[in-house]
Structure 1
């Protein structure tokens, strides 16, 4: 049985990945600052807590994993430190020979092939700039990482998040680092279908050291 450890496994994306992985019979462990309560707690997930800014917690998080998923966000104590934390996580994954799945943001995608990423342009909303730039720095760090590190960096569509959860359709498009738009000019993906795309890649690996976009 493949064992997946999700860092940030109680957040919006992390919990969706955990739910999808559980439905396929994977072993799932979640590391987060606090454990969920009530209906937010998924039966079958092993919940562990601790601050991932601490080296000993990061070291514990990789023990027993086959695949390491980082669904961390640059908020709270991770704001200003998430690039460093994910760099250390990547180093641990490489040392242990684990596959690393990194969940990033929409703005690390490109509007068209060979164009600058949205995060590198002038149109970043100031209120989101710190988060966007930190997540883009994580991508650049991975792309510059040593060849032995096996990673995939996923960027969701523009309309993605708890504010637009959508529905599980069982379909999605997956591609390189260029954004997908539908026939109406929208770029969207539900939480459930984004998680499905990620777990599909974990179950049937077909990309290595790649930046992938997911949308309808």
Structure 2
């Protein structure tokens, strides 16, 4: 299976490349600068410069793009729209490293994690930008997308256990009442979804067992 990981030099991107490569996938890292992943194949290009021709041979494309500053937050929407446009009408799957702020906390799906009183103010602009990008993605019936949200506590340096709970649109807790997952276990879940998942045009979520 041939996959491309966009923004592969980021912390999550590198782990997804590593996980996929160790399973024998044919992995290409899409990076703007020098490749810092274990991938042997590289497309050195800015995400916004990618074309349909660049991605036409892949079975799946992983979007690991992230933006954190006030001026770049709108790029969550514009970058995802660009990837959708160049994959439109193809069989190539688009899998997105998403956010947890847009997970619902009620069965009616009227309240989200980011709406809660304990949600840190510092992260609200990011959560709002990522939720907007997801809302726009939901309107794309021309792309075989899957959006994967991490647990609320997304730990960059957490251990790889290789186990996780696959959930849906609602914030899910494990048996210890936790909503937590490591970047490494998120990478496991992402590659599992590429390999055997069929959550086309759906948002799913993952939490540590």
Asked if these proteins are the same fold (TM beyond 0.5), I'd say yes
Q: Which structure 1 residue ranges, 4+ long, deviate > 6 Å from structure 2?
A: none
**How do 1:23-42 residues align onto structure 2 when only pairs under 5 Å count?**
23-36=22-35, 40-42=36-38
Q: Which runs of no fewer than 5 residues in structure 2 stay unpaired? A: none
> Are residue 190 (structure 1) and residue 189 (structure 2) matched?
no
Distance 1:126 1:60 in 2: 41
Tell me, what secondary structure is at the counterpart of 1:17?
helix
Measure how far apart 1:80 and its partner are. Answer: 2.3
Distance 2:114 2:86 in 1: 27
Q: Which runs of no fewer than 5 residues in structure 1 stay unpaired? A: none
Contact 1:174 1:214 in 2 (8 A): yes
In structure 2, the residue matched to 1:48 is 43
Distance 2:193 2:3 in 1: 13
Measure how far apart 1:47 and its partner are. Answer: 2.5
CA deviation string 1:55-80 (max 9, x = no partner): xx344541421101101012368432
Query: What is the total number of aligned residue pairs between the two structures?
Result: 206
Residue 149 (structure 2) aligned to one of 150, 155, 173: 155
Tell me the C-alpha RMSD between the 2 structures: 2.1
CA deviation string 1:27-56 (max 9, x = no partner): 1111122224xxx431x43222222233xx
In structure 1, the residue matched to 2:62 is 69
TM-score, structure 1 normalization: 0.86
In structure 1, the residue matched to 2:93 is 99
